[in-house]
Structure 1
Amino acid sequence: MTNVQTAKDVIEQTKAFHKKLGDFYQNLADKVEKERVKILLEYMSRHHDHIAIIIDEYESSAAENILSTWFMFVHKECDLSPFFDANIGPDMTAQQVIKVAVDLDKCLLDTYEGLLQNDIADDVREVFQSLLEMEKLEKIKLAKNALKIETM
């Protein structure tokens, strides 16, 4: 799929994706029965809400010429089948939750990496490289904290 978008469009879509994930995990947390899974889902909800806030702040501080930069990239659709095929429900395990989270985070990483494969201006490349690094660090942080919660 070929897209023509501004850097701002991609940043806003990423922010919206994190916000939707935060809402999704909170809705699941309200339905699950296992306390450990509930704690994990509530943590993941807060985690994604926090990332959405960070991206919003990042966007607010970015130069307008960077945000308004147009570029074309070929991006494969995110494979959301793990999200839809997952056994998501009140009796889900912590490991099922973690697997869904890892698969969805991979979608964002693939998007940033796809953008960075293009011939784009250095200042725009720097923005998306920074966002990619932040996503990678947040993924590690999420995995560590999820493991701690799972072994409580």
Structure 2
Amino acid sequence: MTKVQTAKDVIEQTKFFHRKLADFYDNLSDNVEKERVKILLEYMSRHHENLAAILDDYESEISERVLDTWFMFVNKKCDLSPFFSASINPDMTAQQVIEIAVDFDQCLLDTYEGILQNEISDEVRDVFRGLLEMEKNEKIKLAKNALKIDSM
């Protein structure tokens, strides 16, 4: 799907997405029985709240001119079905939770990569390259911590 929007729009949508994920994982933690899975979900909720706060700070450091830049990009299809229709049950394993998280993270990575494939100014490219790197690093951090929790 081709979209025309500003850099600010994308950042705002990403913050919203992280906050929705934080709520999603928080609500899931109320419905699981396994303590390890509950700890993992609570960690993931805090992790996404933290990412939204980081984006707030990041956005405040970007010039209005860059934030107001309009561009067109083709967004790869993201599979958000786990977000809207996750089959949640009290017996979920930590691995099932991690798989859902990986799907969500990949959607954000695909969005940033899609933006970077277009003709955009160097300043806007730098912003989204920074966001892409941040998301990649956070994905690695989340995976490592999730594995630590899973192996407890």
With structure 2 as the length reference, what TM-score do the two structures score?
Answer: 0.96
Taking the aligned partners of 2:93 and 2:23, their CA distance within structure 1 comes to 19
| Dislocated runs of 4+, deviation >6 Å | none
Q: CA deviation at 1:110?
A: 0.1
Q: Is there any run of 5+ residues in structure 1 with no aligned partner, and where?
A: none
With structure 1 as the length reference, what TM-score do the two structures score?
Answer: 0.96
Alignment partner, residue 78 of structure 1: 78
Taking the aligned partners of 1:85 and 1:63, their CA distance within structure 2 comes to 38
Taking the aligned partners of 1:136 and 1:54, their CA distance within structure 2 comes to 14
- Give the RMSD, CA atoms, in angstroms: 1.1
Of all paired residues, the percent bearing the same amino acid is 75
Alignment partner, residue 20 of structure 1: 20
Q: CA deviation at 1:145?
A: 0.1
Residue pair 1:109, 1:135 contacting (<8 A) in 2 also: yes
Alignment partner, residue 54 of structure 2: 54
Q: Deviations over 1:73-95 (max 9, x none)?
A: 11133112344564322221100
Q: CA deviation at 1:31?
A: 1.6
Alignment partner, residue 41 of structure 2: 41
Alignment partner, residue 142 of structure 1: 142
Q: Deviations over 1:56-111 (max 9, x none)?
A: 11111110000000001111331123445643222211000000000110000000
SS of the residue aligned with 1:40? helix
Q: CA deviation at 1:140?
A: 0.1
Aligned-partner residue type, residue 42 of structure 1: E
Taking the aligned partners of 2:24 and 2:84, their CA distance within structure 1 comes to 12
Farther-moved stretch of structure 1 (81-90 vs 106-115): 81-90
Taking the aligned partners of 1:15 and 1:44, their CA distance within structure 2 comes to 15
Alignment partner, residue 65 of structure 1: 65
Aligned length: 152
SS of the residue aligned with 2:76? coil
Q: Is there any run of 5+ residues in structure 2 with no aligned partner, and where?
A: none
Taking the aligned partners of 2:106 and 2:88, their CA distance within structure 1 comes to 19
SS of the residue aligned with 2:118? coil
Farther-moved stretch of structure 1 (85-94 vs 115-124): 85-94
